[in-house]
Amino acid sequence: MALSRPGGRVRVAPVTAGDLPALTTATEASLQRITQWGPSGLDSLPTLVADQGQSRLTFLVHVHTSLRVAAAGHGIAARINLNSIVRGRGSTATLGYDAFDPYAGRGLLREGLALVVDHAFAREPDGLGLHRLEAGVQPGNERSALLLRSLGFQPEGFSPRLVWVPTLGDPADGWRDHDRFALTREDWPGSAHLPQVAYRAPVRRRIGCVVNGPEHSARDGVATRLAVELGVPVLRRAWLSDDVLFHVLAESPCGAVISGCFTDSDEAWARAGWTGAGYDLARVPEVRCALGEPGGEGERTAYRLGVGPRWEVRGELDDRELAALAVRIAAGQR
C-alpha cells in the first residue's frame, strides 16, 4: 500500500525491512535536530518492522526521484508513527513524526502527514477508519506546533510531565510538558483541500458565572479560586464600569467569572449585558456568598438575580467543595 497524490512530491508507504538501511542513514544524519525534542529512534530500528501491528504503524515519506540528493545516501524525507491505535468506540491514535536532513524544511513532511491523515480517516477497508488523531508538542517546539496547525489540528490544552524523554537531560527527571493538539474526521476536508482548515481559529468552550455577595463575604476569594479551576479570568464589578464589564466579557474567548454585589434591581441590566455578550442568562450559574446566619446582613444587602441555576456559599470553601462547584458550573455550559 502506497499513498501519493498526482503532482505531489512524495510517496508514503509502510516501513519494510528493506527500508532499514536507508532509515538508519537518515536518522544518523539528523541526530542533532531530532534529539533536541525527543529520542533519536535508532535503538528501536532493529525491532521496528516486527513491532508493526494493530496498535502501531510506521510510515516513511519517500521523496520522488527528481528531488533526491545523491550525497545524502537516502531518499527518506520523514518518518511518521501512528501509536496507541484504538479501534471501536475510541477510534483514535497518537501521531508522532521526524523530518530527516537534507530534506527537512521543504514542506515534504507536511505533504506526507496530510496523506497519512487521509489514510487514517478513510473508511475501512480503504483506510483505518479512525475518528480522531492526537499529537503532543513540547512548548518550545514552535515548528512542530505550527506544522500541526497548518493541517487543521486544534490546540486542546497543556499537560505537565506528559511524556518521558530522558535524552533531553537528567534521565532521573525526563518527564516533559506538552501542549496537546487534536483533529477529528469531521474537521478534515482531505489533503487536497488543506487551505480550508489551515491555521483555523481554535474552538473553545465559553464558561460564565456570577459570584454574588456583600463586600465582606467570601465573594472575591471564591471568585478567584473558581476562575483558576475553570481557566477563565475574573471580572470585578468594583473595578470596571458597567459598560466595560460586559464589553470585556463579550471579547473574552473563554468566558469569565463576574464578581460583585448584585441586588434584585440589577436583573434587567445583567440580562441585557449577558445577552449582548452572547450568553443565555437563564443558563449562567450564580454563586451567592452570604454573611453569617440566614436573615442576617448578607441576606439584606445581596439578593439573588433569580435567573439561572444558583448555589449558596457561607464562608470559605475547602478544596473539595470548590472543585465540586466548578464541575457543576462547567457541566451546565457544555
pLDDT tens digits, residue range 316-328?
899 999 999 999 9
Answer yes or no: is 15 within a domain: yes
Sequence-ordered list of residues with C-beta below 8 angstroms from that of 213, at least 6 positions apart, any chain: 219, 261, 288, 289, 290, 291, 298, 302, 313
- Parallel, antiparallel, or unpaired for β 154-164 and 175-184? antiparallel
- 60-119 pLDDT, tens digit per residue, is 999 999 999 999 999 999 999 999 999 999 999 999 999 999 999 999 999 999 999 999
**Which residue is associated with the grid cell 520523514?**
78
Residue 268 identity: A
- pLDDT tier for residue 173 given thresholds of 50, 70 and 90: confident
Boundary-marking domain end, from 196, 231, 263:
196
| CATH code, domain with 315 | 3.40.50.300
CA 284 to chain centre: 25
Separation between Cα atoms, residue 45 and residue 33, nearest integer Å: 18
Separation between Cα atoms, residue 23 and residue 100, nearest integer Å: 9
Residue 120 identity: A
- 218-260 pLDDT, tens digit per residue, is 899 999 999 999 999 999 999 999 889 999 999 999 999 999 9
Q: What is the mean pLDDT of residues 126-139?
A: 96
Q: Alpha helices of 182-282 — where are they, by DSSP H?
A: 219-230, 242-251, 267-276
- pLDDT tier for residue 166 given thresholds of 50, 70 and 90: confident
Answer yes or no: is 5 within a domain: no
CB-CB neighbours of 68 under 10 Å = 15
Quote the number of domains for the chain.
2
Side-chain-side CA neighbours of residue 112 (13 Å): 32
**Do 313 and 286 meet the contact criterion of CB atoms below 8 Å apart?**
no
| 214 and 177 in a common domain | no
More confident residue, 147 or 268: 147
| 243 and 115 in a common domain | no
pLDDT of residue 171: 60
Answer yes or no: is 299 within a domain: yes
In which region does residue 135 sit, left (phi positive, over 0), alpha (psi from -120 to 50) or beta (all else)? beta
Answer yes or no: is 2 within a domain: no
**Do 225 and 313 meet the contact criterion of CB atoms below 8 Å apart?**
no
pLDDT of residue 298: 46
Boundary-marking domain end, from 196, 218, 241:
196
Mean residue pLDDT across the chain: 91
| 135 and 55 in a common domain | yes
| 187 and 268 in a common domain | no
Q: What is the mean pLDDT of residues 214-219?
A: 84
Please give, one letter per residue, the 3-state secondary structure of 27-49: HHHCHHHHCCCCCCCHHHHHHCC
Q: Which domain holds residue 318?
A: 207-331
| CATH code, domain with 85 | 3.40.630.30
| 99 and 120 in a common domain | yes
Q: In a 10 Å sphere around its CB, with 0-12 CB exposed, 13-18 middle and 19+ buried, how is residue 84 labelled?
A: middle
Separation between Cα atoms, residue 257 and residue 274, nearest integer Å: 12
